[in-house]
Structure 1
């Protein structure tokens, strides 16, 4: 504000000085004009005619030059004057604008000075708490770093959330599919429960049937023994044909589980016929010495051979039983013809096995 007032005073001084200079210029011009006029007036002194005419001619020439110079100087002076007048008007307008601006900014400057004073007092009062301020500043820097880290983490989280959104949609679809499967499983469980109920009833029925199974006899010409029926053929056939004929009757060549079963069936055969040798269901035709039951394909897991057998004498690859000697086994040529023992499950046992 003080600088503005100094500039305004300097402008006012310049304007006043300029006006005084202009007054001096006009005074000089006026004196010059009067001097020119006095030179034109006639003198009272009498001179010779020739001298007077010559001097008059020279004087006129000088006066013309002076007049022309004065007129040019006058024109130049007027132009300078007009330019100075214009500059004065601009300066006066600028002065008014400065005065208006200074008057309008006085209050603002005072307010700013008041704020500066308040800030100065605040700074002075806070000087005592400088250490605390530095500590707060450091905490603020740390907080800003954390905010930056959190912003980065947020961006990363947004990216992950976008990926999670896609996974959630897929998971939602999978859940829907799973619900449908669970519903189908519930339906299946209901059906299974129904089946279990039916199976329980069947088990009860089979228990009742088992109680009567011992009383059930195989139909003639089949003979009852435990859970199977046995047929002792009258025809003598090769081992292969015997197997085919037995199958046509719904059975297969007999397979033994143990020695006791061999001996019991041998007794049964002796009670029916006087024949001694019968074909049974074992053979090593696939690999010599590896005896297997023809129906189940399982290996014969116990020995009940006649002494010195099997000896594979003349390619003896099929098993026989000699019922007169407690059913003991022997190997024989498969193309030879003999009677056979055919075995099939009882009807009740078949139902039980299917259950």
Structure 2
């Protein structure tokens, strides 16, 4: 029997509500021509509603899953980068420790070489007072200048390399910033999509609540992944900074190592050069000592011969000189002319023995001119050969240049120990004199 004929007196009224598809029966009589149309429309609406619900579920679930997979892949990549940077940091730390060890070793060796260099330099300075010139110092300064120039060029090259690395890091930073802005844009798009869905499908609250719960879960996971991504990004930046610090430290240690190596080589060259110079100086010194001994023997023999040579009649012998004590009186200038006429000059006294000798020859309290004067410059006493006074025997309070015209020195005979004194007097005074040749 046809179901349409069985339900002939019943009209089905189907309404769509928030809880789903609800069917209510209305026992009012409807015309038979409208029942098929009504049923078809009802079925068509149900199919359309089911299709819309399927599309919404597919969009929410598939999109959320795709976002989660992408975030997970990004998290894995960041984890791998973090591990790689950590390994590089450990490697740089080990290399830095090795460079520090090499630096300490080279510093100790440099101190030893510097100590040995100082010792050799001191010996060299003592020996070079008579046998070296300033040309070696000029060459050393030129070599130091060349070394400093090379060090400056090396530092310039290191600066250029660091500048290129800084530009590369700035590019990487800009790439990460653009990636971060992309993530923010995607988050903003998701929020907008969420608001649009809430406005369109408010009548499907229950299904939306379920989907919203799943969406919140996915968002929570996404936020957690985003937080993990940010944390990994900070760790990556920190590791990158540590890497840069280690790299700069490594470059600095490498530069110090190279500089110390060059200094060590330079010290070694200086040491070898000083060693050769020391050997040469020792050989020269030995040769000079031998020559000195020969000259000393020759001088002793010559001195003995000179002491053995007798003086002319009327002259007194002392050591290798002959002395003439005048019996007449003249002023200082005329006395000197008289000595010059005999191939001599006024006496020059430079030892205590000579002072005692002259004092014994002169008569009691006798005064005699000697070859000492300050006529060229007041207060500057010079012997007649232009040499300064090295040993003096002035009377107490002398010379005083009384009245400003006492420019010549005289010998005053005294019976005191060790014997005799000097006094300044006017060069015009006439008295005895003493010649020496």
Is the shorter-chain TM-score for this pair beyond 0.5, marking a shared fold? no
TM-score scaled by length of structure 2: 0.33
TM-score of the superposed pair, with normalisation by structure 1: 0.39
